[in-house]
């Protein structure tokens, strides 16, 4: 009787052990599948980021971003871009001579910039207010700085690195540049916060309600107006010191607006208008072999790490059978580019502005506060604001 019970107990333990082993292996398989899914998602996101960087490089070569404060959309002076649109190489081959598809990014379909145009329209209103112009000047300077940085840096990348290098290491480079951009934008914002305080000593003397604003400056010769300017300057110093996380949102919004608005531009490939999202699809298509190779390597590594040596070796065999065509799948067959022509120059298009730059002698901020201003009535401006509030 005792032997029978012992045997039954042993059988139960073996059954439990077998059940636990099955559950453990099932758990490993589930984790393996989950890791493979996450890896594939990360790879697709990575190469999508590469295509966006590639898109920005071609925009930089086309030189159509609003980098000049004397040109549209900051003013009514349209820039002259030569050649326009410039042909840029995309999806290049490794042949001799090098062949590529051609992308054009015309200025005329990308000339609009809603945010800058809103700022411009307000600056040119007859009722334009000095305080609003203070913040607008900061925002416009940051936008111009970022567009100039994108044009310069991305053009250097476009000229220095091959397309395959940009696609392979683009997101890593983007991450580094993004962090540097945040730091630089923050520092530049602090500088602009002080540099634009001259707006506190300006008043709009246009009371007609028509035309553009007429700005006059105030000095110590107008004590009351000068006192208001000094008070605002001191107040804004304290605002920067104690509310920096709030006011610095201005620089972050402008920074990200510059990036997003660049990526929202339109391009033309083979006579068809595309967006940056369309380019992501094309990059995943024409770099299919590279993407599949990376996925295969990660698939094998994850099999070894999650399932063990035997499943890992088995995964190598499966990948090899697919690669050599024994298993009928064409995932290792590259998609050939179409409409290829010999590659053209990577030189950037030349942009000129028709605006006339005045060579005016400028003095420092403190000099202008005491000597260099023209006089005016800031009290009138403040009263005007008070009426609007009430």
DSSP state string for 152-212: HHHHHHHHHS-HHHHHHHHHHHHHHHHHHHHHHHHHHHHHHHHHTGGGGGEEE---SSSSS
Residues 134-162: pLDDT tens digits?
999 999 999 999 999 999 999 999 999 99
The three-state (H, E, C) secondary structure of 145-169, written as one string: HHHHHHHHHHHHHHHHCCHHHHHHH
Series of mean pLDDT values for 10-residue runs along the chain (390 residues): 51 52 79 94 95 97 96 94 93 91 96 96 94 97 97 96 94 94 97 96 88 87 85 96 96 97 96 94 93 94 91 91 83 85 95 66 48 43 44
Cα dihedral 277, 283, 285, 286, rounded to 10, equals 150
Residues 209-245: pLDDT tens digits?
888 999 998 877 777 888 999 999 999 999 999 999 9
Which sequence spans correspond to the domains of the chain?
2-273+333-389
Residue 352 burial by Cβ neighbours in a 10 Å radius (0-12, 13-18, 19+): exposed
| pTM reported for the whole predicted model | 0.84
* CA geometry: angle 65, 67, 70, nearest 5 deg: 125
């Amino acid at each position: 009787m005792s032997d029978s019970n012992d045997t039954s107990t042993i059988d139960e333990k073996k059954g439990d052990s077998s059940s636990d082993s099955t559950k453990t292996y099932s758990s490993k398989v589930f984790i393996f599948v989950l890791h493979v899914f996450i890896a594939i998602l990360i790879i697709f996101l990575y190469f999508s980021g590469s295509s966006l960087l590639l898109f920005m490089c071609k925009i930089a070569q086309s030189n159509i971003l609003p980098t000049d404060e004397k040109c549209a959309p900051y003013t009514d002076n349209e820039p002259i871009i030569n050649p326009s649109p410039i042909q840029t190489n995309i999806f290049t081959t490794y042949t001799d001579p090098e062949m590529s598809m051609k992308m054009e990014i015309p200025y005329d379909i990308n000339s609009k910039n809603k945010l800058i145009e809103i700022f411009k329209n307000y600056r040119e209103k007859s009722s334009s207010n000095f305080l609003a112009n203070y913040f607008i000047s900061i925002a416009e300077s940051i936008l111009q700085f970022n567009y100039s940085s994108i044009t310069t840096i991305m053009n250097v990348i476009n000229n220095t690195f091959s397309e395959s290098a940009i696609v392979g290491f683009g997101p890593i480079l983007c991450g580094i540049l993004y962090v540097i951009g945040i730091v630089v934008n923050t520092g530049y914002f602090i500088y602009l916060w002080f540099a634009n305080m001259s707006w506190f000593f300006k008043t709009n003397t246009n009371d007609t309600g028509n035309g553009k604003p007429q700005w006059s400056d105030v000095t110590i010769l107008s004590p009351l107006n000068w006192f208001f300017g000094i008070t605002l300057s001191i107040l804004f110093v304290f605002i920067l010191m104690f509310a920096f996380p709030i006011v610095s949102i201005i620089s972050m919004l402008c920074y990200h607006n510059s990036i997003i608005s660049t990526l929202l531009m339109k391009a033309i490939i083979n006579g068809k208008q595309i967006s940056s999202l369309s380019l992501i699809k094309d990059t995943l298509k024409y770099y299919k072999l590279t993407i599949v190779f990376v996925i295969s390597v990660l698939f094998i590594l994850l099999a070894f790490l999650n399932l063990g040596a035997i499943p890992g070796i088995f995964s190598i065999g499966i990948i090899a059978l697919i690669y050599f065509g024994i298993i009928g799948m064409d995932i290792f067959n590259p998609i050939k580019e179409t409409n290829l022509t010999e590659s053209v120059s990577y030189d950037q298009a030349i942009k000129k502005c028709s605006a006339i730059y005045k060579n005016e002698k400028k003095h420092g901020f403190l000099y202008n506060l005491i000597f260099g201003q023209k006089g005016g009535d800031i009290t009138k401006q403040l009263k005007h604001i008070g009426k609007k509030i009430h």
